[in-house]
A and B are shown apart, each in its own frame.
Chain A
Amino acid sequence: GQNIDQPTEMTATEGAIVQINCTYQTSGFNGLFWYQQHAGEAPTFLSYNVLDGLEEKGRFSSFLSRSKGYSYLLLKELQMKDSASYLCAVRAISGTYKYIFGTGTRLKVLA
């Protein structure tokens, strides 16, 4: 089966650094994605890892360890507008591609 876990909620202070973890157990793993979603809106793409290691993209970085079934999203220099849900998604191949989303982490950035 497919199982993806993230913390439900996190709180951090403006200007700080926050790390959102994601663990997964999937068959046919073919990549891990992070999306940002504001309330009532569609998710927007943040980052993508298919190989082990760190991918850096401005204030956002994402890490993947396939052997541990583990990823994290690192947000630096937090801004108030970063308050949103962050979704971890795994792409799996089972005949065709399928994208499975985790429960999402609601991040609240405080002034």
Chain B
Amino acid sequence: GAVVSQHPSRVICKSGTSVKIECRSLDFQATTMFWYRQFPKQSLMLMATSNEGSKATYEQGVEKDKFLINHASLTLSTLTVTSAHPEDSSFYICSASQPGEGGEKLFFGSGTQLSVL
């Protein structure tokens, strides 16, 4: 399957700082990437859909000024958590879809565990 690389895998930061998470599609071009958030023992919550060359589409309740998404190229999308606070601590996962045999499939990065102190 396709490879999606996500960095960093773990971040610990102080309250008030900003954190950038990178998501790269390594062997395919991804015009659309998705950013999810996951709390312990809960499922994935879609935060936003990142479209190459245009503004991201945010889900209801997700603050676009707090979670800045940039999709500058067909292989890279970034999520910046601005002025992070302890309640932003969570597992963030990016994903990208790729057409293939049997239809389009969604592939995930390895996730980023963010801990805000």
Which residues of A does B touch, CB under 8 Å?
31, 33, 35, 40-45, 48, 50, 85, 87, 89, 91, 96-104, 106
The docked-state distance in angstroms from the alpha carbon of A44 to that of B108 is 7
Most buried by A among B1, B41, B109: B41
State the majority secondary structure of interface residues on A: strand
The answer to whether B44 and A87 have CB atoms under 8 Å apart is yes
Number of interface residues of B (CB under 8 A): 29
State the majority secondary structure of interface residues on B: strand
The answer to whether A97 and B97 have CB atoms under 8 Å apart is yes
A42-B93 contact in complex given A33-B105, A33-B106, A97-B32, C-beta closer than 8 Å = yes
The docked-state distance in angstroms from the alpha carbon of A80 to that of B75 is 36
Q: B25 interface residue, CB < 8 Å from A?
A: no
The answer to whether B108 and A43 have CB atoms under 8 Å apart is yes
Q: Which of B34-87 contact A (CB under 8 A)?
A: 34, 36, 41-46, 49, 51, 57
The docked-state distance in angstroms from the alpha carbon of A97 to that of B44 is 16
Q: B107 interface residue, CB < 8 Å from A?
A: yes
The answer to whether A41 and B110 have CB atoms under 8 Å apart is yes
Residues of B within 8 A of A33 (CB): 105-106
Residues of B within 8 A of A31 (CB): 103-104
Residues of A within 8 A of B91 (CB): 40
